[in-house]
Structure 1
Amino acid sequence: MQAQQENNYSSSSYTKEEISKLESRYQFCGHPLRITRDFSSNLGISAIIWEAGLVLCRYFEQEKISFSGKKVIELGSGTGIVGILAALLGGDVTLTDQLMVLNQIQFNITNNIPVSIQQRAKVSTLLWGDNLDQFPINYDFILGSDIVYNSRDFPALIKTLQHLSNQNTVIYLCSKMRESMGAIEFHEKLLPQHFNTEIVHRTADKEINVFKVTKKGLDAIENPLM
């Protein structure tokens, strides 16, 4: 029953007074965004608007990417800024994170997505590598920004990407290339074992990359040297 309750998380489980008023404002693709970070709870890094998330939003704007009519899932949504923009750009978006973060995400969905289209965005707990059977495998897009920073999580992250994707899924990962946290190893060694990956955008200082990732064919995975 717990999983069902988590996957049907609703805005009725929080009050405005429970969210601290640390708001940042942005505009992407013509959409003004007011993103509130909940520092009243012990969310740690999940209450930070990471630069990689902003870079990914700018990439969507620069490339005029549309998610209209597409099924989208975001991993490690945090404040929800990337997934919210994807919903505003027409996507049917599932924003995922740990249970304690859902309150913050839902608050920002309510504040940024018009009531008439809020059905496009839902929040759900997703524990990488664990509760994957609760999620389908027919997503058109998978999004993730600054989720590659702990090498202990890399096997679970790859397992999650494998489950959620099919041959037609496009994955956008935006990462700050911190060598000390394993980002270079993940993107250059681990991920290419199972996925085709290319850098489609990088910041001027070359610290943050946007990767476009697609699943390798079965033959390529079985014969990685071919």
Structure 2
Amino acid sequence: MSKTKDNDISVEKYNFCGHTLSITMFKGSSLGLSAYVWGPAVVLCKYFQDQKIDFTGKKVLELGSGTGLVGILVALLGGHVTITDVSETLEQIEYNVDANIPVTSKHRSKVRALYWGTDHHDYPSDFDFILGSDIVYSPPQFPNIVETLLHCSNENTTIFFCTNMVARMGARDFHDEVIPKKFDSDHVFTDGAISIYKITRKCAS
């Protein structure tokens, strides 16, 4: 990874799965935490690389994308990705999508606003994968995340959440208490304080 800075714009380069991604962060804007690439996004991308997860032809939803790093990588790996965040963040994501996804592959990526627990009904329920990196940090949002997951997933959907378990408020409770009420969850990887969970819908009884 290398970094260059120009006033309030930062550009970081990452290499995953044979692709070099150039991610621009609009730090001078009002995006706050969304203007940064956080550790869980990098760990999740590396996990996909190490596990050789095949996204070819798969329908993928990324929640709380921020800079777009994870969703862009998945699109480059052949996935059909809907990259989402709050509306204020979409310009940054679109910039990075344009900078990293070739025109010939652009049809496999969409950038849309999604407010958890509010407009998730505007989305289908047939995603093969749902991804979230560093989105578990605000306990008041936990019910909205669960509601969104329940609507957008089905019994065949694989959900990957990558979370900083130490630095994020309520992260342990979310993964140990909240998610298991509606989903089966396996802790599949740890990198320091960062954990990856593989989550699926509970089978109907």
For Structure 1 versus Structure 2, the TM-score category normalised by the shorter chain is over 0.9
Report how far residue 132 of structure 1 moved. Answer: 1.6
Partner of 1:162: 150
Q: Does 2:50 match 1:96?
A: no
Q: Percent identity?
A: 48
Report how far residue 20 of structure 1 moved. Answer: 5.4
What is the TM-score of this pair, normalised by structure 1? 0.86
Using the alignment, how far apart are the partners of 1:69 and 1:157 within structure 2? 25
1:75–1:180 CA distance, 2 compared to 1 (3 A): closer
**Unaligned segments of structure 2, at least 5 residues:** 1-6
Q: Deviations over 1:160-196 (max 9, x none)?
A: 0000000000000000003760000000001000000
Using the alignment, how far apart are the partners of 2:167 and 2:48 within structure 1? 26
Partner of 2:103: 115
Partner of 2:19: 31
What is the TM-score of this pair, normalised by structure 2? 0.95
**Unaligned segments of structure 1, at least 5 residues:** 1-18, 220-226
Partner of 1:105: 93
Q: Does 2:194 match 1:208?
A: yes
Runs of 4+ deviating beyond 3 Å = none
Report how far residue 218 of structure 1 moved. Answer: 2.2
Using the alignment, how far apart are the partners of 2:176 and 2:121 within structure 1? 28
Q: Deviations over 1:98-157 (max 9, x none)?
A: 000000000000000111101111100000001122100000000000000000100000
Partner of 1:4: none
Using the alignment, how far apart are the partners of 1:77 and 1:197 within structure 2? 21
Report how far residue 58 of structure 1 moved. Answer: 0.3
Partner of 2:59: 71
The answer to which structure has the higher strand fraction is 2
Using the alignment, how far apart are the partners of 1:88 and 1:30 within structure 2? 10
Amino acid at match of 1:50: W
Partner of 2:137: 149
Any idea what SS the aligned residue of 1:218 has? coil
The answer to which structure has the higher helix fraction is 1
Q: CA RMSD in A?
A: 1.3
Any idea what SS the aligned residue of 2:48 has? helix
Using the alignment, how far apart are the partners of 1:84 and 1:179 within structure 2? 25
